[in-house]
């Protein structure tokens, strides 16, 4: 079992790259953002609590997200897979430490770095996501537009802008990221499995770099 950890700024392209890795290498993508949105969509009590946190651009508390991740990792498809990619997890050092407690044969941590904050804001403001939670494909009006306006290329469902992709929430997500997620870089550097990629490059260029690391 291999583990690929994709982390970095919001809008760095983690979800887009994780989707490509999943398709090309048969790794299972685990997006904590998607897991939270599924819970929000199911309107459970936990979902409602997480909805307001997400809409403000804050982080869901560690103990909740760690529990959600552990439950996902216990599912049968993971046991049978070659490996898995985490997208958007870990976002704090504590989350990283907890992930390390789950044994794998090999592990790489890929940090997608964006220096220019305005690139992030522009990308997220032009992002569209498939409304079918089973699909969840990601498009971008500037970099990766859908073939037919407003429709998903993969499943034809309508596309929508995410509730947290508005400028105020995006700016807050960036500052939360700087304070809480950047320390995760040092954690993986110390562990000796960190790879850094400049995420302002194109989707294809970034994927090529990831391929060299993952294979
Ligand atoms: P992005 O990477 O574009 O910011 P995600 O879909 O990964 O989007 O996450 C959306 C939101 O879900 C985050 O802003 C946060 O509120 C919550 N979230 C996702 N993953 C985590 C995590 N590992 N820890 C805490 N909160 C999380």
Nearest CA to ligand 1 atom 3: 10
Active-site residue set: 14, 91, 127, 162, 173
Beta strands in the chain (DSSP E): 2-8, 28-31, 83-87, 106-113, 127-130, 138-140, 159-160, 194-198
Shortest-distance atom of ligand 1 to CA 91: 23
Q: Is the CB of 13 under 6 A from ligand 1?
A: no
Q: Is the CB of 88 under 6 A from ligand 1?
A: yes
Q: Is the CB of 68 under 6 A from ligand 1?
A: no
Collapse the DSSP code of 195 into the 3-class scheme (helix H, G, I; strand E, B; otherwise coil) and give the result.
strand
Total-model pTM? 0.93
User: Which one of 13, 14, 32 would you pick to mutate in the ligand 1 pocket, going by the greatest count of ligand atoms within 8 A of its CB?
Assistant: 32
Shortest-distance atom of ligand 1 to CA 53: 16
Q: Is the CB of 37 under 6 A from ligand 1?
A: no
Shortest-distance atom of ligand 1 to CA 176: 14
Question: Cα(32) to centroid of ligand 1, in Å?
Answer: 6
Rounded CA-CA distance 28/14 in Å is 14
| pLDDT tens-digit profile, the chain (215 residues) | 999 999 999 999 999 999 999 999 889 999 999 999 999 999 999 999 999 999 999 999 999 999 999 999 999 999 989 899 999 999 999 999 999 999 999 999 999 988 899 999 999 999 999 999 889 899 999 989 999 999 999 999 999 999 999 999 999 999 999 999 999 999 999 999 999 999 988 999 999 999 999 97
Report residue 95 as tokens: 């989350």
Rounded CA-CA distance 90/16 in Å is 17
Report residue 135 as tokens: 């699909």
């Amino acid at each position: 079992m291999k583990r690929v950890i994709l982390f970095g700024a919001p809008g760095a392209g983690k979800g887009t790259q994780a989707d490509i890795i999943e398709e090309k290498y048969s790794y299972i993508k685990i997006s904590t953002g998607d897991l939270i949105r599924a819970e929000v969509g199911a309107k459970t009590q936990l979902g409602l609590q997480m909805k307001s946190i997400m809409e403000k651009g804050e982080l869901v508390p560690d103990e909740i997200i760690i529990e959600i991740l552990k439950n996902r990792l216990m599912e049968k498809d993971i046991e049978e897979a070659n490996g898995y990619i985490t997208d958007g997890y870990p976002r704090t050092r504590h989350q990283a430490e907890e992930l390390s407690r789950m044994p794998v044969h090999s592990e790489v941590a890929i940090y997608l770095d964006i220096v220019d904050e305005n690139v992030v804001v522009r990308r997220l403001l032009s992002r569209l996501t498939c409304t079918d939670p089973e699909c969840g494909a990601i498009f971008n009006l500037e970099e990766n537009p859908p073939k037919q306006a407003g429709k998903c290329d993969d499943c034809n469902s309508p596309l929508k802008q995410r509730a947290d992709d508005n400028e105020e929430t995006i700016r807050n997500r960036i500052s939360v990221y700087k304070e809480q997620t950047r320390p995760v870089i040092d954690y993986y550097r110390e562990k000796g499995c960190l790879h850094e990629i400049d995420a302002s490059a194109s989707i294809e260029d970034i994927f090529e770099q990831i391929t060299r690391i993952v294979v």
